[in-house]
Amino acid sequence: MFDAHAREDVDAAIARCFYAHGISFNVVKGPQFQEMIYAINNAPKGYVPPKYERLRTSLLDKERSQIDNKLGALRNELPTYGVSIISDGWSNVKNQSLINIMVVSGGKAMFVIGYDCFE
């Protein structure tokens, strides 16, 4: 049965973590946030999250490898589909300009480089 009070406690704990660590509220809009919540909800009883050292080493290396594999597949498609170079610029909350350069091919985008124009 759904317990509204328990939900409030969980929501407050999540919010407190965001506030205490300056995590962007936009994080909750990303699919990775929903994927994380789903994984936690379905984790075995007694699940303990990874510690600092594991997050910054083996898990980061594994994620980087997975991303490199996905980007490698996109790079292999560039000769087939061609490529468009696009830029996206905006200002942050301090009104400082930022620009991202990306390539798009076959309906998929790949980040190339970002520039902080305020430095």
Q: Residue ranges of the domains in the chain?
A: 1-49, 51-119
pLDDT tens series, the chain, 119 aa:
678 899 999 999 999 999 999 999 999 999 999 999 999 999 999 999 999 999 999 999 999 999 888 888 888 888 888 889 999 898 888 888 999 999 888 888 888 898 888 76
Ordered DSSP codes for 14-45: HHHHHHHHT--GGGGGSHHHHHHHHHHHTSPT
pTM assigned to the model: 0.66
Phi, psi of 74 (to 5 degrees): -65, -45
Identify the CA nearest to 113 among candidates 96, 93, 77, 89. 89
Per-residue confidence (pLDDT) for residue 7, from 0 to 100: 94
Structure tokens given for 115? 């520039």
Around Cβ 63, how many Cβ atoms within 10 Å?
A: 11
Structure tokens given for 27? 């994080």
